[in-house]
Amino acid sequence: MLKITFLGTVSGIPTKDRNHSAIIFEYFSDIKSTLLFDCGEGTQKQLMMSGISFMDVDNIFISHWHADHFAGLIPLIQTMNMEKRKKELTIYGPEAERFVADIIDLGYFGLRFPINAVNVPFEGDEITKIMDSEEFEVLSIPTLHTVPSVAYCFKEKDRWGIDLDKMKDLGLKRGSWLEKLKKQGEAEYRGKKIKLSDIANRKDGLKVVYTGDTKPCETVVKISKDSDMLIHDGTFLELDESQGKYHADVAEAAKIAKKADVKELILTHLSRRYNRDDVKEMEERAKKVFPNTKIAHDFMKVELKK
């Protein structure tokens, strides 16, 4: 099960109700994994208010190095240090090695735990696997913003469920050979070669994409194809030239969701200029293009399960 909590949902300048960008993914399996996507100012306090321990965060994915997406790293690292963290922390992002080194250099941290920085490719249109675990992987692809920027994809690994009826039809009985079959894709049963697809059904893993800041682009369509959820830049109700072209408006983001055949769209990173009524209008406008759309608000939680 994947639980997603929006910790910050505003663009450039925060408001009383909306904090700078940060989204936390809690993935519950045999072990719990906690992944943080972007870390704007105040993220550690937003985590506390959500009842999620910042000490559980082992991997942080920065979409791009604008302060509204990373300024929360400095106090978060300091707090982890004062709480006597020993575990390694890994920070991913375009040019992450350079920026993480700069951040650690900023004050007298006296760091007692290792911080590992991983550069994420930000040019071209290829999908890169940047993290791999037993249960899931994280992928990235470059996006279109004013500075190097990427989108991230959380992808739960596909699973095979043994179909007992199919086993019965083929006259097969349970045994240790089934473990081998699950691991290697095929195994021998009383001298007969059995393939996993003969007796099992594939269950696609969950797929969720977070774009960070971007104007609508094909790379986002590519990485979010058929995903369960797309979390897209929805900065503007309607974009005009004067507002800069490197964000999306809600209808444009909805078009990307439609093109990528995603199941659900959540728009975030709203400009502070919009009041409650405007936000309603944003949702309505997006829904005309892609009906299953929600507008994120701080502390909004979504649960996904397959």
At 12, give phi and psi (nearest 5°).
-5, -60
10 Å CB burial of residue 281 (0-12, 13-18, 19+) is middle
Using the minimum distance from each CB to Zn ion, give the nearer residue, 76 or 115: 76
Q: DSSP state, 56?
A: G
Using the minimum distance from each CB to Zn ion, give the nearer residue, 182 or 272: 272
Using the minimum distance from each CB to Zn ion, give the nearer residue, 156 or 213: 213
Tell me whether residue 204 is one of the annotated catalytic residues: no
Binding residues for Zn ion, rule CB under 5 A, total 2
Contacts 24+ apart (CB under 8 A), 14-20: 14/40, 14/41, 14/42, 14/68, 14/272, 15/272, 17/297, 17/298, 18/270, 18/272, 18/297, 18/298, 19/43, 19/46, 19/298, 20/68, 20/69, 20/71, 20/72
- Taking the complex as a whole, the smallest distance from the CB of residue 301 to Zn ion amounts, in Å, to 22
- The SS3 assignment for 248 reads coil
Among 67-75, 76-84, 141-149, 159-167, which window interacts with Zn ion (CB under 5 A)? 67-75
Interface mask (CB under 5 A) for Zn ion, residues 97-136, using x and -?
Answer: ----------------------------------------
Among 198-206, 210-218, 282-290, 293-301, which window interacts with Zn ion (CB under 5 A)? 210-218
Residue 235's CB: how many other CB atoms inside 10 A?
Answer: 27
213 binds Zn ion (CB under 5 A): yes
Among 7, 41, 3, residue whose Cα is nearest residue 23: 7
Among 68-76, 84-92, 108-116, 137-145, which window interacts with Zn ion (CB under 5 A)? 68-76
- Taking the complex as a whole, the smallest distance from the CB of residue 69 to Zn ion amounts, in Å, to 5
Among 63-71, 164-172, 195-203, 252-260, which window interacts with Zn ion (CB under 5 A)? 63-71
249 binds Zn ion (CB under 5 A): no
26 binds Zn ion (CB under 5 A): no
Angle at 143 between CA 1 and CA 283, to 5 degrees: 60
Residue 71's CB: how many other CB atoms inside 10 A?
Answer: 18
Contacting residue, 26, 38, 41, 68, with Zn ion by CB under 5 A: 68
Using the minimum distance from each CB to Zn ion, give the nearer residue, 194 or 248: 248
Q: Of 30, 56, 68, 125, which residue is the catalytic one? A: 68
Tokens of 257: 């969701």
In contact, 130 and 117? CB cutoff 8 Å = no
> What residues line the site for Zn ion (CB under 5 A)?
68, 213
The residues carrying an active-site annotation are: 68
